[in-house]
Amino acid sequence: MSDFLGGLFGDEKSQGTEEQKNQYSSGQGNDASSGGQGNDSSQTASSSKSEGSLELHKEELDVTKNNVSAGEVVLSKEVVEEQKTVDVPVMHEEVVIKRTPVNQRSNASITSEETVHIPVSEEQVQVNKYTVTTEEISASKRQVEETQQVQETLKHEEAHVNTTGSVDIVEGGSGFEDINKG
């Protein structure tokens, strides 16, 4: 793009190509709003212009975030059986037979009709099972914010002014002023 601005601002002695000289006059992408002046493609590069403009562009990042599934947590339970042995003290009655020798005379008749009944008892173990809640397990979600670094290469346009011959360029706040001073 050597001598681009020379052809743009009417330096008829510039040595740029015809394509470089016509780049501004044909507009970028044939957009009639770029530059606003000199967009007639029938003009030649040798026509003189007193002012012109050039739009500069740059790329910026458009960052979006998407919710995606990261997995899930499933709470479940399983039944585990174990044998438990418990020592339980139990009581039972025993009959103690005691014989005491007696050597006495008795008037009772000998018969087999006399009996003595002694009830004997014991404790028996009865086992019943019941359910007891031992603990409660709960799960919930919480949002945690973290920062991720994203790197991307961005492009932007910069203006370059190339001149040939004795041309003084003064930059002003609203554009170029007195670009062809001498």
What per-residue confidence (pLDDT) applies to 10? Answer: 45
Q: What pTM does this model have?
A: 0.36
Do 166 and 182 contact (CB within 8 A), yes or no?
A: yes
Q: From CA 40, how far away is CA 80, in angstroms rounded?
A: 89
Do 3 and 14 contact (CB within 8 A), yes or no?
A: yes
Q: What is the pLDDT along the chain (182 residues), one digit of tens a residue?
A: 444 444 444 444 444 444 444 444 444 444 434 344 444 444 444 567 888 888 999 999 998 999 999 999 999 999 999 999 999 999 999 999 999 999 999 998 888 888 999 999 999 999 999 999 999 999 999 999 999 999 999 999 988 888 888 888 887 655 544 444 44
**DSSP string for residues in 90-127:** --B---------------PPP-S---------B-----
Q: By C-alpha distance, which of 168, 160, 180 is closest to 16?
A: 160
CA 63 to chain centre: 14
Domain regions of the chain by residue span: 1-63+144-182
Burial label, 64 (beta-carbon count in 10 A; 0-12, 13-18, 19+) = exposed
